[in-house]
Amino acid sequence: MTGYKGVTPVEFKVLVKPDKVEDKSAGGLYLPDSSRDRQQYAMDRGEIMAVGAGFWVDLPGDTPRVGDRVIFNKYAGSIVDIQDGDNRETCRLINDKDICAILEE
C-alpha cells in the first residue's frame, strides 16, 4: 500500500491523476472553467498515483502498478483535491475494477 501526498487509498481503491485538459479548444478559443471541469471529470485516461492494500489481490496476471498509465471508466469514483503548498492537484479515487486497460507508452 502506497500513499501520494498525504492520501492513502484503503481496501481496493486506486488514486488516479487524470490527464490534464487543455484550456483552449482546437479552434483556439479559451474554454470557461465550468467546461474544463466537466471535461476533466469525463476524462478517462490517467496515471496511477497510489493504491490500497486490497488492490487486485484476487486477480492473477498483469495488474497495473503505481506509475502506470491506464484507461478507466468515465465518471467512476470521487474527485479528490490535493493541496501541496501553493499547488492544487485534482485526482480521482476509483475502485480497482473501474480500470479497463493499461496503456503501453
Question: H helices within the chain, ranges in order?
Answer: 33-42
- Among left, alpha and beta (phi > 0; psi -120 to 50; other), residue 67 is left
Q: What percent of the chain has pLDDT over 70?
A: 80
Residues 6+ apart with CB under 8 A from 75: 41, 42
What domains lie within the chain, and their CATH numbers? 13-102 (2.30.33.40)
- Cα three-residue angle 11-3-15, rounded to 5 degrees: 65
d(CA 95, CA 105): 23
pLDDT, one tens digit per residue, over 49-61 is 998 887 776 666 6
pTM: 0.74
Chunked into runs of 10 residues, the chain (105 residues) has average pLDDT values of 76 86 72 67 81 75 85 88 84 90 85
